[in-house]
Amino acid sequence: MQDYVTVTADDALENDVRLLVRLAIAEDLSNAIDWTTVCMIEDDLVGGCEVVPRVDGVCAGMAILPWIVDEFDADLELEMLLEDGQPLVPGQPMARLRGNVRDLLTTERTILNLLSRTCGVATLVRRYVDAIAGSKANVYDTRKTTPGWRLLEKYAVACGGGRNHRRGLYDGFLIKDNHLQLAGKNGVPVPASEAAKKALQWRGGQVEHLTAPSIVEIEVDSLEQLRDVLPVSPDIVLIDNFSLDDIHAAVTMRDELNSAVELEVSGNVKLDTIVAIAKTGVERISSGALTHQATWLDLGLDWFDTQDKSAS
């Protein structure tokens, strides 16, 4: 089965990152200047600084760092010392910047804010991925992301070894209980099988001159619904908030009725539950916690080799 597209450091991500940086610049400078830095620092002072992790983690954001620096329109030299996805070791620099100290001070907080967030997400994701290493299951993110940060947080998930679910409402059919209920009549939901058939038919044609998404996924909240929809052959059935016993039963049912359909578990997915879920034999485990429960990773900027231009 074709999976959702993995977010990479492409034009779409660059556009989003640049928009975020422009907003950050507006927040910090508001079309004015960095008064403290201009007051205290001579305009010809040059130096260098390194982005340094204070704790263990996973690197995520080296690919976006050049875009961040570029948006500040500062003449800074940038050297990446790690690649995204590599482990972070306390005290081992991730990147090195050199240039005008005023410019470095002005860019400092934006760089640290963005990288602390992306590294925090990647670090949490790696813990989930490592927990189920060796199983057939993969860990997927969700659309529970910070508004405006969707692609960047999904990129961080990929850096941590996770898989990306759909980017938005535009790139996949995901039929949920609300769709079934609201598409029904007289308070009776549309059967899951009927809804899946309709989505598969739409995928087979074009709607208003737009090519329909390639993946059809449907959520079920009972084994009865699962039995109803499996013969229709959606690509994925999302079994939401099932007990562990019911997940086992769902896998057995799927294997017997339609082994081509992949099963995705969501709901109550935590570090202390994911191992047992993976052992049931499902292919996919999705969790909003990968993004909405991730904490910032502690990063700092350490300075070195500061001198006047006239002295160099």
Average pLDDT for the chain: 95
What confidence score (pLDDT) does residue 122 get?
A: 99
Q: Which residues contact 52 (CB under 8 A, 6 or more apart)?
A: 91, 92, 93, 94, 299, 300, 301, 302
Please determine, for residue 1, whether its predicted confidence score (pLDDT) is greater than 80: no
Please determine, for residue 73, whether its predicted confidence score (pLDDT) is greater than 90: no
Please determine, for residue 2, whether its predicted confidence score (pLDDT) is greater than 90: no
- Residue 83: domain span: 11-128+295-306
* Residue 311 falls inside a structural domain: no
User: What is the share, in percent, of the chain residues with pLDDT greater than 70?
Assistant: 97
Distance, first Cα to last Cα, the chain: 60
Q: Answer whether 95's CB lies under 8 Å from 41's CB.
A: no
How many other CB atoms are found less than 10 A from the CB of residue 303?
13
Please list the active-site residues. Answer: 109, 144, 176, 219, 240
Please determine, for residue 254, whether its predicted confidence score (pLDDT) is greater than 90: yes
Domain count of the chain? 2
Q: Answer whether 119's CB lies under 8 Å from 89's CB.
A: no
What confidence score (pLDDT) does residue 230 get?
A: 99
Token code pair at residue 147: 């508004």
What confidence score (pLDDT) does residue 309 get?
A: 60
55 and 87 in one domain?
yes
Q: Answer whether 28's CB lies under 8 Å from 37's CB.
A: no
60 and 103 in one domain?
yes
Sign of CA dihedral 25, 14, 149, 65: negative
* Residue 4 falls inside a structural domain: no
Token code pair at residue 210: 């737009």
Q: What is the CATH number of the domain that holds 87?
A: 3.90.1170.20
The amino acid at residue 211 is: T
What confidence score (pLDDT) does residue 308 get?
A: 66
143 and 45 in one domain?
no
287 and 138 in one domain?
yes
What confidence score (pLDDT) does residue 208 get?
A: 72
